[in-house]
Structure formats: structure tokens, C-alpha cells
Structure 1
């Protein structure tokens, strides 16, 4: 009986809670009572997950042999260095706050790797698709009604017809769309998916995501979207390219039909004009009113100057915004609005270089799986496309360390790598 419980715990209970945790992560603090916004569904399921994992480790022990690799050493090392930076951090409260986010997200990634044998990609794929469709439905409701969820800050910015769904602002929502659109495309063109409803739900989801992305006016994510599509098409096989071109032709046909009969009521022209304005603003460095580009330029300059003051060891976990407060009159913003710059400034040159190496390591190994006949080669294309877009899209959001959607892209990547190696019998 005891052995049966141990097996069921590892193979059924933990995976079930894991899937619920993953699903709830896409909806954040909206799945909570407003007066207890800090206690939302994701955190509750995560607490249960940690509890049952603790029991599993006590009963079954730790299987270190299949767990120790470059990713494990780097992530644990990053977490340890972040704790060490408390010694020179100016504001301990900010350091603790970011440390909590970093530690939890790293633990989640490690759990993806450790329990990869008992988790299934098709379940993750279904959860991503369901979540994506729900986000799109809420996004269009926001655009039509101009009403937002209680967690959204869009009303505070006095923005109209701008979707944010379950995120605090439209930039975060745009980043979500770009990072997870490749997974939706994969379902739409995957020949092994025989479910007609699922394939067309994915296709319509990919198409309907584009107007919402345009309405977010997130310039970095416009570029990230194009990069994701380009990388996806570049890596796709002949059959997948054919499917992409077929779907693209269908989309263009209906678009021309709608525009030709003016059934869009001028929405297409407005969208084109909006994109032109946003793209042209990329070269706007006017200092008379501190344009967005100038502010971001100043954030980089001041951020690097603080890094220099700390001898390139990093200013300490979460302390970039504390130091930027000193020059807020020049930058307006205190967040660096650039995830890679945030890693560099907060954690120093060594962690930053290792972080880049880690991403290259992931991409390299995903490429290796893609070229193999492994059954897991299908998820590699959306993962590579998403990570490629991430280099651009991560510039959009103000504070990426809190965004679970970013960490889950890397967690899914390491899940595929770990599962592939276990299936090949390398461990």
C-alpha cells in the first residue's frame, strides 16, 4: 500500500497539481478575492505543489543523477549569487522582494526538469491553447466595452480600447501574445493533430491575436512578432511551410474580401496608421519632451554607470530601481524597461554572461533535438521561435522578473531537453 501511494504521488498527484499550477499561472492575481489579491490561485496551487514534492522527496529520495547539468548549476548559482548580493545592496526590502520572485521561478524551472519523466507535452500544449483563447476573448471584450479587469492599470493611464486582459498593462499582454503565439501556430499546422476543432481554434486564435497585438501599441512586440514568424518559417519543414502558406493565403483572401467590401469599417486603415506611428516613433529622440526613446537611452546610461560604481559585480538583487530613484527627474521611469539590462545591472557581468551562455546552450540543444527523429522534435520550433522573439519582446515590459510567462518558456524548453535525454536513455 505504501509503495502504491509513492508511485501514485509521483506519477499522478504531483503532475495533476503541476498542470493546475501551470494553468492558473496565466491568469495571475485576477483569480483571487480583491481584498486578498496576494493570495491567488497560482500561489495556492504552487504551495500545494511544493508540499507534495517535499513529501515525495522524503519518501522516495532525490534522483540527482538525472538532474545535475549545466542548467541546474547555473540556476542554483544565480540564486546563490543573488543572495550574496544582499551584502552590498542598499535596500534590503527590494532585494528580498526580487529574491523571492527569482527563487520561486528558478525552483519551478528545476521542477519542470526533475519531473519531466512524468509530465506530458500534449497536456501543456492544450493548457497553452485554452489559456490563449480565454485571453483573446477577454481582450476583445475589453476593446468592445472599454472595461477592464480589476487588476488592470489601463484605466489609470486613461487608455481607451487598449487590451490588457489578465495583465497589469498592455505591454505585458503584448509580450504574452508574442511569446506564446508560436505554440498556437504549432497546433494549427501540426499534421499529427487530428482534432479538427483544436486545429481551427488554434488557427483562429493566431489570426485574432494580431489585431489585439496592434491595439497594445507595443513597438518592441511588433518587431518580436515578425521575428517569431520569420524564425518559425525558417525552421519549419516542407509540410509545415506548405501549411503556413496555405493558412496565410486563406487569411489574406478574407482580409482583402473584408477590405474590398469595406466590412472593416475603416479599421484596417486605422491599424496601418497606428503601426506607422509606432514604428516611426522608434527613431524619435526628441529631447524637448523626453520621448520614450530618450528615456530608455538615459535608463541604459545611468544603469551602466551604477554598474560601474559597483565594480561590475551588480548593484544587488532588486536594487536597480532604488538607484534609479536618484535620477528619476531625468529618466521619469525607475524601472530599466529592459530585462537583459536589468540582469546585467542587478547581478553583474559574470551572471549576465553566464545567462547569455545558458540561453545559447538551450537553443543549441533544441536545434539538436529538432534535427533528430525524436518524438519531441515538434515542440522545438515554437520554443526556439519564442526564445528568439524574447530577445526583443523583453524590452517592452517594465519588470520581467515577476512575469511567469517568461520563466515558463524557459521551463518548457528545459522540460523538452530533459525529457528527450531520458527517452534516449542518456541518463
Structure 2
């Protein structure tokens, strides 16, 4: 290997290390060695992100010649760029420019994370590495949650940090809903270990992680987190039935689930009423739809939903954040971005299901099962947090899914 090739290889290795550090520190966010420097907080994730960004841009534009846009996932990436561009254009009509800029920065970082993962995850080994990184982070955050439940203490990032001993877990997040959402989205990674790992120790870790995370979700009283886990379990059962061609079980399962729901409806209804301010959330969504109509379907603009809740509500609400990721996208970014996002979301799931049903590879099944379940849980998990945009871990799911779809296509092309 000549000196130039060696130099390029070393540079890429540095970028790859930075990339993995960005991923792992992203799970811990502001909880990991934060520095308060006035208008914002600085912590390892943000520092590493800023260091990696120019290296990524240089390689993407100059060395790789935008090759990522010649891949099978180009339309997904184009939509993400369109979404970001729309958010910037929406500055023209947003009422609160400060809130808009803040949300645009978070959106930019989230979309860039997806690009990082798609760009630096190039083969099966890379996908396995990032999978295990997610598993390590998942187990680590479970341990933090258990520590909180036992001691009543919390990390500095928590809402309860200054409280007297308080035994509701928040992990590395600000509140319990964000933590429950994270756990719900990453339980499928433990399920993947149970079904597809060849090592008994990893299977045991997977089982214990699921038990602990469900227990922690129950302690958070996050109904959307519990519903997400239930949806993931149902999706797992359906995948198994379809894969094994035992469709007659669906004829038993679907009526059985319906009967249980009808039978337990009074209890379910009472539980939901106790656990979440349903009426309040409905009014928040109704206000969001009203705002959408007021802006002729274009949305109130990036980060401006709370401003409109304060100044132009049609229905009375006590809180300002809409508490629903789907409704937030619709109300802030309008019908075009919302329609694109829905297609983006469901088409990824569709492509993963197609691969799951056709593959015999253990590696493919591992990634397909994990990502399908996580994305199914995402459908309801994202209605729990007050602000879903800045939950870094959600962007990883989509990034891994797109990197995996890119890998599938490139593998098929190589094999003819």
C-alpha cells in the first residue's frame, strides 16, 4: 500500500472512531460531563458531533462524490433533506424565530446522525458493531434506572435531580416519559439477542434486560411506553405466524385480542384516565389541527407549536407542548412534510418485512426482527414525550434501518 492510500486509510479510521464515539455518547447526552457555558450546555456528544461533521462533509463531497445518493436509499435521504430545507424556509412565517432556530438545529443534528450512520456503516461487521453498541447503551441505561429506583437519587440531567429521594427512574433523560420511550424502542434489541444470538450469556442478558426494562416502564407510569411494548410483542407474534406459514393462528389471535380488549375495556379505560390526561391531549391535538387550517396546510413553522398554544388556542389547555410526534410534525411542518414522513416510515417497515420473509440469513433476521419491532413500537411510543425531536436515540433507529437497507441492496448487486 502506498503512502497516500495509507494516509487516507488512517484518516478514515479516525473518522470511524469518532463516529462510534458520537453514537455511544449520544445515548447519554447532557448527563455525561455537562459544561454550562451560558446560553447552552456543552457535553461530549455535541463536541464529538462538531468534530466529525466537517470530516464527514469533506469526505462526502470531495472523496466520495456524493455516492451515497446513488444508493438504494437515495429517496429516503432526499426526503430528509427536503424536510430540513422546509424547516429553514418556514422561518419566513414563524412567529418565534428563536424557537424555530432551536428546533431547526435539533432537526439538523438528528438528520445528520442518520447520514452519519448510513455513510459509515458499510458492511455486515459495521452493522453488528453498531447493534452491539446499542445493546451496551441499553443495558447501561437500565442499570442507571435500577440505581435510581433503589437509591432515589438521579443524574444531573434529571427533572428530579434536586428533589428529595424520588424513586421514579429517568435514566439519562430529563423526565420519566422520555426514559420509558427509550426503553420501549430498544427492547427489540434484547429480543434480537434472545432469538438469534448463539451465546447463552447474551440470551440471558437479553431476557434480564427485557424484564428489567418492562418493570422500569411500569414505574414511570408511561402509558405510551407500555402500549409500545405490547405492540412490539404482537408484531413479533404476527411475524412468526407469517414466517412459519401458520396463518390460521392469525384467525385465532386477532379475535382473541379483540375479545380481551372488549372484556377488559372498563379497566383499560379507567387505567388510561388515571395514567394520562387524555382530555388535555385531545385538546392539544385539536388545537394543532386548528393551527394547521389557519396556516392553509403549511404548518406554523419549526418549533412554533408552543407559541401558538399560548397565543392562538381554540381549546383550553394547561400545557403547551402537543405531546404527540405525529401531530407535532403535521402542525409545525404541514401536510407535505407529514405525508412524506408517513411514507418514509411505512415504506421502511415494508422493505424490512419483505427482506424478513425472503431471507434465510441469521444476520438478516436479527436486524429485520429488531428494526421491524422497534419501528412498530415507535408508532405509539412517540406520543409520550413532551419533545420527541431532541431524543437522540430515535434517530439511531432510522439510521440503522436505512444503513441496513443499503447493505441489503449492495449485497444483492454483488451476488448478481
- Per-residue deviation at 1:341? 0.2
Out of 362-371 and 231-240, give the one that drifted further: 231-240
Residue 367, structure 1, aligned to residue 364, structure 2: no
CA distance in 2 between counterparts of 1:212 and 1:89 reads 39
Equivalent residue number for residue 18 of structure 1 = 19
Name the Cα RMSD after superposition: 2.7
Residues 341 and 158 of structure 1: CA distance in aligned 2, closer, same or farther (over 3 Å): farther
Equivalent residue number for residue 76 of structure 2 = 71
Equivalent residue number for residue 3 of structure 1 = 5
CA contact (8 A) 2:19 2:120 kept: no
Equivalent residue number for residue 36 of structure 2 = 35
Q: Secondary structure at the match of 1:379?
A: helix
Q: Map residues 352-391 of structure 1 onto 2, 5 A cutoff.
A: 352-373=338-359, 375-391=363-379
Equivalent residue number for residue 319 of structure 1 = 304
Residue 219, structure 1, aligned to residue 223, structure 2: yes
Equivalent residue number for residue 411 of structure 1 = 399
CA distance in 2 between counterparts of 1:188 and 1:239 reads 18
Query: Once the two structures are superposed, what CA deviation does each residue of 1:216-253 show, in whole Å capped at 9, x if it has no partner?
Result: 0001111111111111232148999xxxxxxxxxxxxx
CA distance in 2 between counterparts of 1:345 and 1:356 reads 14
TM-score between both structures, scaled by the size of structure 1: 0.84
CA contact (8 A) 1:98 1:317 kept: yes
- Per-residue deviation at 1:396? 0.5
CA contact (8 A) 1:172 1:397 kept: yes
Which of 363, 375, 383 is equivalent to 1:395? 383
Equivalent residue number for residue 338 of structure 1 = 324
- Per-residue deviation at 1:34? 4.6
Which runs of no fewer than 5 residues in structure 1 stay unpaired? Answer: 241-275, 286-290
CA contact (8 A) 1:307 1:315 kept: yes
Query: Once the two structures are superposed, what CA deviation does each residue of 1:368-389 show, in whole Å capped at 9, x if it has no partner?
Result: 2212335423211111111111
Which runs of no fewer than 5 residues in structure 2 stay unpaired? Answer: 245-265
Residues 103 and 313 of structure 1: CA distance in aligned 2, closer, same or farther (over 3 Å): same
CA distance in 1 between counterparts of 2:365 and 2:301 reads 39
Equivalent residue number for residue 335 of structure 2 = 349
Out of 157-166 and 140-149, give the one that drifted further: 157-166
Q: Secondary structure at the match of 2:41?
A: coil
CA distance in 2 between counterparts of 1:14 and 1:277 reads 53
Which of 135, 146, 163 is equivalent to 2:141? 135
- Per-residue deviation at 1:214? 0.6
CA contact (8 A) 2:73 2:402 kept: no
CA distance in 1 between counterparts of 2:65 and 2:117 reads 17
Q: Map residues 56-67 of structure 1 onto 2, 5 A cutoff.
A: 56-57=59-60, 58-63=62-67, 64-66=69-71
CA distance in 1 between counterparts of 2:410 and 2:32 reads 36
Equivalent residue number for residue 269 of structure 1 = none
Out of 375-384 and 404-413, give the one that drifted further: 375-384
Which of 165, 170, 190 is equivalent to 1:164? 170
Which of 114, 122, 143 is equivalent to 1:117? 122
Residues 356 and 17 of structure 1: CA distance in aligned 2, closer, same or farther (over 3 Å): same
Equivalent residue number for residue 260 of structure 1 = none
CA contact (8 A) 2:228 2:380 kept: yes
CA distance in 2 between counterparts of 1:138 and 1:311 reads 46
CA distance in 2 between counterparts of 1:187 and 1:391 reads 23
Q: Secondary structure at the match of 1:330?
A: coil
